[in-house]
A and B are shown apart, each in its own frame.
Chain A
Amino acid sequence: MRRLDGALVAAVVVGALLLAAPFYYAPYRVEQIASALVLAIIVLGLGILTGFSGQISLGHSAFVGIGAYIAAILVEDHGWPYVATIPVAGAVCLGAGIVVGLPALRLRGLHLALVTLAFAAVFPAMLRRFNGLTHGNRGIRLDDAVAPGWTGLADDQWVYMVVLVTAAALFLFARNVIRSRVGRSMIAVRDDEIAAQAAGINVARVRTLAFGLSALFAGVAGALETLLVGAVAPSSFGVLPSIGYVVGLVIGGVGSLVGALIGGFAIHFLPRWAADINVQLSGVVYGGLLIALTYIAPDGIVGLGRRARRLLSSPTNQGDNKS
């Protein structure tokens, strides 16, 4: 009971801070926080895939790209309002995720990682190839989103609020999925596939569904990124961002909602802080930070928090520490 209250208080505090942020910070800073939230959504989706169904993907930048391009094409070429593109991007990516997830039925671990990595690697080339639809290398540039009059918000605040509300809805959705029968099936498949099958779980369906859900999160994040940036180009969706998402997942803590939020902020802000320390050595500083983090917090920052709490609450119980 006490623990639940603590979690609730923490959620309310974080929510209040995030709500207040756009009224306190300068527009460019507000956009950075929104970018971090978008990354958190992607990490959250990846967390469902990796943390709960035990599959790995290095190809999520392609799903983000699909979502981003759907939003951009609908807004630019078909005159849709930005916000209406978000569910479409999510739905299409759900489908794309299920299709890409099919090979995942037969592939495990490293092999699956390679296939998804290849998906991410060819994605920008595909965008360039279909330039009638995607406008090729130069990408698509859109007019900035404008806040509706009734909100009384500045444009950047409006964009931020759309991102924040969508992120909150997706976090709630993820929490419910995880606690549902589907979520428990995923965990069962992750922990012991044969036992899960014996218990009557349709393993193939659960694994594909996890892929689809995870892609849905990435697609929605892509549409939000388009809203935020107001432009898309193939060079934004290469392999590197994909690896960044996995880094976020590990830093935050695999299999934790709070961890996804922390991971999103970490992969947005840590490289920038590293560059502030020394541009030339930014890669080294960032890499060093990551190594230090994996060393200090092997279960992610969330895991570190858990360990600290355990140590504080029951000093005699240090045996747990070995895990």
Chain B
Amino acid sequence: MKTRNRAIILSLAALAAACGGQRGDDESSPASTSVDDTTTSVDDTTTTVGAATTTEGTAAVASTPGTEVTTTEAEATTTEAEATTTEAEATTTTEAAPASLIDLADCPADYNPIEGVTEDEIRFASSVPQSGPAGTFNFIASGIRSYFNYYNATKGGYEGRNLVLDIKDDVYEPNRTLENVEEFLGSDQRPFAFLGMIGTPNNLFVWDKINEACIPHLYVLTGAAEWGADIPTHPWSVGVLPVYQLEVGVFLDYLVEQNPGVKTLALLYQNDDYGESYRMGLEKAAAEHGLEIVATETHERGETIIDIQINNLAESGADVFIGGITGDTCTNAIRGIGESAWDPILYISQTCTSKNFLDAAGPDGATGADKHAADVYSVTYIQDPSNPAFASSPGMSEYLANVEVYKDPNMPMLPNVGITAVGWQIGELVAATLESAGELSRPAIMDAARSLDFDGSMLLDGVSFQTGGTADPYALEQFSVVQYDGTNYKYSEIRDYEGRTLDFVDVDDLALE
């Protein structure tokens, strides 16, 4: 009987939690206003693939799986360098328009380059952690959806077609990511492209499948160097975030410039693919600068109490602390070092630059005015929504005014969280990529993603998305070094590493096949 009562109480509690969760979302849900005016000349969708032209101009054809496309002479496609850009924000430049890296000869026999596109929709699909320990990444997906709703409502979508993002939860487990992708591939509503999937192993599990299906695997959201180091075998996968190894390279370049006397480094990194990239980058960059890594410690993901690791690193007495860490660990590392007798210069991951994390370290920590003032450094490329200094920039004010208005009422939304802004920025980048592609087809969108030149509205002044074929596969390679003194942020001038990411990566370390 007792167990029964307990079960009833638990159920009631669960119900209460459920209701509590829903309430906040009920206010203003500006339903993703669909654009009625879908009469946009359907001829626009005619797809030119090499010599073969899908002549049936009706957009309905787009969703017919059988559309015949001869795939032999495919290279000649798309992306005229001078693709006229309709929106002011999308500027496509022409430097050496790269030949398409896509070869449709390898694609399935029934391949349709405009699958997932209908008269009024362009369908994207994603698999992200929406629940479980990594569930906060859902904010990125929420940010993308919010931008899509905003774009559909205020700009009429892309040529009258609403951008739609289907999302499945993978709990950050690679097996589930694979299962989700297979489900998308086997469903009646196959996507035009996959977009913004999170996690290095997660994306590695699916990139062979997606490439075999010749579906764009757009803007993979991990800073691993894989997404771009292997274009010949994975031409359909493209990353977007700055590569972690490059970030460490920027740290050390700046460090030796500012503090030529330093000799020794101590590294703390998260023991997974994320932290490992920092270790790999640091080993390479330190060797090149003649610096010595005298102590290395790791912590497991989710392990935020890191006093032992900090103590061990402090014993080394190294000149510089490098943190390949994220989330609460950033705060705890800064605080822990501040409380120790150790007095290093701190360089921490750009994921730590959010004002939320740094402020939480408190005035008594390393950032306090007494002891380590002006000694915490990081890099960033994007405006921080939690820092009021950016509130008046045009991109940020557009974001702040709209991100909540156009949110998906069924998804969590916190505008102040940095990754929400990243999601919004990715959404804008997708729209800009479509607009610069010249035509609506899978090969065209890949070519556009490989020849980006777009000033994202949320990026720092002087930073832009730039890619250029196999020579320059990475989109974000310009940074400002941020220095935090406990109250204020000093942003350095933009340091430009355009086209240089691979200089900082040891390709042998990567999981290429």
Known: A137-B200, A229-B175, A291-B14. A281 touches B21 (CB 8 A): yes
Q: Determine whether the beta carbon of B169 is less than 8 Å from that of A275.
A: yes
Q: Determine whether the beta carbon of B11 is less than 8 Å from that of A288.
A: yes
Q: Which single residue of chain B is at the shortest CB-CB distance from A137?
A: B273
Secondary structure class of chain A's binding surface, majority of residues: helix
**Among the listed B175, B199, B276, B411, which residue makes an inter-chain contact with A280, where contact means beta carbons less than 8 Å apart?**
B411
B189-232 Cβ-contact flags toward A at 8 Å (1 or 0): 00000000001110011001000000000000000000000000
**A197 on the interface (CB 8 Å rule)?**
no
Give every chain B residue within 8 A of A229 (Cβ-Cβ). Answer: 175, 178, 205
Q: Determine whether the beta carbon of A284 is less than 8 Å from that of B18.
A: yes
Task: Give the CA-CA distance A35 to B175 in the complex, in Å.
Answer: 10
Task: Give the CA-CA distance A275 to B130 in the complex, in Å.
Answer: 10
User: A138 to nearest B CB, angstroms?
Assistant: 4
User: B325 to nearest A CB, angstroms?
Assistant: 15
Give every chain A residue within 8 A of B131 (Cβ-Cβ). Answer: 275, 279, 282-283
Cβ < 8 Å to A, chain B residues 1-40: 3-4, 7-8, 10-11, 14-15, 17-18, 21-22
Secondary structure class of chain B's binding surface, majority of residues: helix
Q: Which single residue of chain B is at the shortest CB-CB distance from A140?
A: B511
Task: Give the CA-CA distance A281 to B135 in the complex, in Å.
Answer: 12
Q: Determine whether the beta carbon of B271 is less than 8 Å from that of A233.
A: no
**Among the listed B11, B172, B179, which residue makes an inter-chain contact with A291, where contact means beta carbons less than 8 Å apart?**
B11
**Among the listed B4, B132, B208, which residue makes an inter-chain contact with A295, where contact means beta carbons less than 8 Å apart?**
B4
Q: Determine whether the beta carbon of A279 is less than 8 Å from that of B169.
A: yes
**A236 on the interface (CB 8 Å rule)?**
yes
Q: Determine whether the beta carbon of A280 is less than 8 Å from that of B174.
A: no
Give every chain A residue within 8 A of B179 (Cβ-Cβ). Answer: 28, 31-32, 35
Cβ < 8 Å to B, chain A residues 260-302: 275, 278-285, 287-288, 291-292, 294-295, 298
Give every chain B residue within 8 A of A31 (Cβ-Cβ). Answer: 179, 182
Q: Which single residue of chain B is at the shortest CB-CB distance from A279?
A: B130
**Among the listed A32, A240, A280, A294, which residue makes an inter-chain contact with B410, where contact means beta carbons less than 8 Å apart?**
A280
Task: Give the CA-CA distance A252 to B501 in the complex, in Å.
Answer: 52
Give every chain A residue within 8 A of B410 (Cβ-Cβ). Answer: 278-280
User: B92 to nearest A CB, angstroms?
Assistant: 34
**B513 on the interface (CB 8 Å rule)?**
yes
Q: Determine whether the beta carbon of A235 is less than 8 Å from that of B11.
A: no
User: A130 to nearest B CB, angstroms?
Assistant: 13
Q: Determine whether the beta carbon of B21 is less than 8 Å from that of A284.
A: yes
Q: Determine whether the beta carbon of B186 is less than 8 Å from that of A141.
A: no
Give every chain A residue within 8 A of B186 (Cβ-Cβ). Answer: 26-29
Q: Determine whether the beta carbon of A236 is less than 8 Å from that of B11.
A: no
Q: Determine whether the beta carbon of B276 is less than 8 Å from that of A236.
A: no
**B503 on the interface (CB 8 Å rule)?**
no
Measured as residues with beta carbon below 8 angstroms from the partner, the interface class of chain B is: 35 or more
**A139 on the interface (CB 8 Å rule)?**
yes
Q: Which single residue of chain B is at the shortest CB-CB distance from A156?
A: B182
Q: Determine whether the beta carbon of A138 is less than 8 Å from that of B200.
A: yes
Measured as residues with beta carbon below 8 angstroms from the partner, the interface class of chain A is: 35 or more
Task: Give the CA-CA distance A11 to B435 in the complex, in Å.
Answer: 58
Give every chain A residue within 8 A of B273 (Cβ-Cβ). Answer: 136-138
Q: Determine whether the beta carbon of A231 is less than 8 Å from that of B205.
A: yes
**A190 on the interface (CB 8 Å rule)?**
no
* Centre residue among B14, B168, B185, B411 by max chain A CB count within 10 A: B14
User: A244 to nearest B CB, angstroms?
Assistant: 11
User: B1 to nearest A CB, angstroms?
Assistant: 11
Task: Give the CA-CA distance A229 to B511 in the complex, in Å.
Answer: 17
Cβ < 8 Å to B, chain A residues 1-38: 26-29, 31-32, 35
Q: Determine whether the beta carbon of B4 is less than 8 Å from that of A141.
A: no
Task: Give the CA-CA distance A26 to B186 in the complex, in Å.
Answer: 7
Task: Give the CA-CA distance A230 to B130 in the complex, in Å.
Answer: 24
Give every chain B residue within 8 A of A291 (Cβ-Cβ). Answer: 7, 10-11, 14
Give every chain A residue within 8 A of B4 (Cβ-Cβ). Answer: 295
**A125 on the interface (CB 8 Å rule)?**
yes
Q: Which single residue of chain B is at the shortest CB-CB distance from A281?
A: B18
**B412 on the interface (CB 8 Å rule)?**
yes
Task: Give the CA-CA distance A284 to B15 in the complex, in Å.
Answer: 8
User: A318 to nearest B CB, angstroms?
Assistant: 17
Task: Give the CA-CA distance A139 to B167 in the complex, in Å.
Answer: 25
Give every chain B residue within 8 A of A230 (Cβ-Cβ). Answer: 178
Known: A32-B179, A138-B511, A233-B174. A284 touches B130 (CB 8 A): no
Q: Determine whether the beta carbon of B200 is less than 8 Å from that of A27.
A: no
Q: Determine whether the beta carbon of B200 is less than 8 Å from that of A288.
A: no
User: B149 to nearest A CB, angstroms?
Assistant: 17
Q: Which single residue of chain A is at the shortest CB-CB distance from B277?
A: A137
**B73 on the interface (CB 8 Å rule)?**
no
Give every chain B residue within 8 A of A240 (Cβ-Cβ). Answer: 132, 171
Task: Give the CA-CA distance A125 to B299 in the complex, in Å.
Answer: 10
What are 19 A-B pairs at a CB distance below 8 A? A28-B185, A35-B179, A128-B271, A128-B272, A136-B273, A136-B276, A137-B272, A138-B204, A138-B273, A138-B511, A141-B204, A141-B208, A225-B175, A231-B205, A236-B174, A240-B171, A280-B412, A295-B7, A298-B3
Point out residues on A near B: beta carbons under 8 Å: 26-29, 31-32, 35, 125, 128, 135-139, 141, 225, 229-231, 233-236, 240, 275, 278-285, 287-288, 291-292, 294-295, 298
